[in-house]
Amino acid sequence: MTTSVQGWMAMKILKLTILIITLTVLGNNAYSQSDREQGIELFRSGEYEKALPILQARVVEEKRDRPAWIYLGAVLVKLGKLDEAKAAFGNHKTIYKGSISAVYEKKLKIINRPQAIYSSKARSKGTSGTVSIAVEMRGDGKIGFVVPFVELPDGLTESSVKAANSLKFEPAWKDGKPVTTVNIIDYSFNTY
């Protein structure tokens, strides 16, 4: 074989290898996203025991999958594993590369978001920071669980939980019906 034919063959093999690798990666990513969607749907249908291993596997596979971490935390709350749920919610700030899982016909809309009250004790002590809360916003328009996972002292966490419980919203819609979503709400407190 001549050198030019060998070079041509090597290029063809390289291109074919790249194509196979690309298709494999895309196929695995699509499979993972459908796994996440399956876990979220199992959460919504109340099948928490079935959703748990699916979402656990997803976050092991892709540590930066924000929706998977949030819904894993939600499943753990429903199973009464609050400490594990708080740890999962704490991973929500990881950045997911790619599209966000659920495509809604109508996105969740917060109509009224009451302010958390800055307690006089916290103000006098100069306590500042952010309380992060996971909030289940049910398809029936009511608040489900409210779990603070980043807390502050001096009554600020309690004030934030009270405010989160008073949220008014219109639920997201998917497949022609309102659906439950889990959202992270932050309440910041600053002294000036």
pLDDT digits 0-9 by tens, 145-160:
999 999 999 999 999 9
Q: How many CB atoms lie within 10 A of CB 35?
A: 18
What whole-number percentage of the chain has pLDDT above 90? 66
Residue 101 predicted with pLDDT over 50? no
Which range of residues forms the domain containing residue 23?
3-90
Which of 90, 117, 141 is where one domain is finished? 90
Average pLDDT over residues 173-180: 93
What is the pLDDT confidence band of residue 122, given thresholds at 50, 70 and 90?
Answer: very high
| Nearest-angstrom CA–CA distance, 52 and 41 | 12
Q: What percent of the chain has pLDDT over 70?
A: 78
Same domain, 129 and 175: yes
68: Cβ–Cβ under 8 A, 6 or more apart, which residues? 36, 39, 55, 58, 59, 62, 101
CATH number at residue 52: 1.25.40.10
Tokens standing for residue 54: 């699916």
Q: Does 103 map to a domain?
A: no
Establish if 24 belongs to a structural domain. yes
- How far is it, in rounded angstroms, from Cα 148 to Cα 132? 6
Indicate the number of domains in the chain: 2
How do residues 56-94 score in pLDDT, each as one tens digit?
A: 999 999 888 889 999 999 999 999 999 999 999 988 776
Residue 153 is predicted with a pLDDT of 96
pLDDT at 13: 64
Q: What CA–CA distance (Å, rounded) separates 67 from 59? A: 10
Per-residue pLDDT at 29 exceeds 50: no
- Residues 33-49: pLDDT tens digits? 588 899 999 999 999 99
- Token pair belonging to 35: 């796994």
The mean pLDDT of the chain is 85
Q: In this structure, is residue 142 part of a structural domain? A: yes
Considering only residues 30 and 73, tell me which one the structure prediction assigns the higher pLDDT.
73
The pLDDT value recorded for residue 18 is: 57
